Structure 1
């Protein structure tokens, strides 16, 4: 469970509600697994000392990042950590395919590659990252496909994906973004409607920039 609050005092009130509910139902939160993360506003300098936040009388440990539903969230709202998580996961999955299915036909390998190496979990949420982190994931994806099919190291990435009728890295990113945007705009949730309607918001701007870059390429 995640609690979001604009201030420490409001967060304390939310925790008090949770504590009261837990007590009424004979439950107790595990304070050793509960953490506090403070998002750093752009251009703002946080004070060195943050007022303590307690759960069941125990101060919560303050962290700068945590993994929620498989996605790494950071205090700076940067996505480099999650990009690296996906790059490492891709390396593990692709190496497994290369070892276990080396003697299979290319059609089988391509099918397996699509199933195991094109998920890019939560990639639609990546909007703040360095080009270095993004390129590292793209290179990992391209090299995984080359090694699985036994292609030369420096062969054209666009050429090999076109020849095998397989989506390249940028094509997957665009499809994931369009899929999420369609679901957000079609949702009846009021908060999601605000995100979808804010054309000047960070998500919509990042998604549009992704497609604009693709068209220029």
Structure 2
């Protein structure tokens, strides 16, 4: 459960509503597992913001929080979540390479598509450094090389084309397009309003992935 508010005062009112609901229905919130995060306004940081309490227990303020498997940070950057996916990809690839080393190439390619191309919540990545993004791309390419036993410096585009599987750029385009399509088709009023904004970060990211640039 997540509460979003533009101010501390409004957030306290929302917390009070939750406390009242819990008392009425015989529920109890676990304050030890509840946290607060204050997002930065540009480069401005609120270091002396008033605290928030839940049922009399002060809540711990954190700089990042994991929600539905996605890391959200106070500066609204996606580097932390990109690194999460890179580490997860490394673990999955090493597992496949160990357990299925003797399988044929078609089997390995099928396993790679099933376990290494999900990139969970990557459609939400709109604010990250090129280094973090490049590290993930390199990890993806190396994962395929290791699984198939290919030379370390072989052509990435060539090996994916030969195996008839998507490279990193293709995966990112498809995931972003899929998210945008689902948001536009949603009947939720908030999502519909977001989908109609052509200046949104999601639309900007989609454009960057799908529009070719000539120099």
Gaps of 5+ in 1: none
Spell out, residue by residue over 1:50-109, the C-alpha distance to the aligned partner (whole angstroms, 9 max, x if none).
Answer: 111110011110000010000000000000000000000000000000001000000000
Aligned to 2:94: 95
Task: Give 3-state SS (helix, strand or coil) of 1:72's partner.
Answer: strand
Aligned length: 215
Residues 180, 202 of structure 2: 8 Å contact kept: no
Aligned to 1:123: 122
* Match status 1:35 vs 2:35: yes
Task: Give 3-state SS (helix, strand or coil) of 1:154's partner.
Answer: coil
The 5 Å alignment of 1:101-120 reads: 101-120=100-119
* Match status 1:68 vs 2:64: no
The 5 Å alignment of 1:50-69 reads: 50-69=49-68
How far apart are residue 174 of structure 1 and its match?
0.3
Aligned to 2:21: 21
| Residues 47 and 113 of structure 1: CA distance in aligned 2, closer, same or farther (over 3 Å) | closer
Superposition TM-score, scaled by structure 2 size: 0.97
How far apart are residue 117 of structure 1 and its match?
0.3
Task: Give 3-state SS (helix, strand or coil) of 2:160's partner.
Answer: helix
Aligned to 1:156: 155
How far apart are residue 147 of structure 1 and its match?
0.8
How far apart are residue 48 of structure 1 and its match?
2.5
Residues 123, 179 of structure 2: 8 Å contact kept: yes
Superposition TM-score, scaled by structure 1 size: 0.96
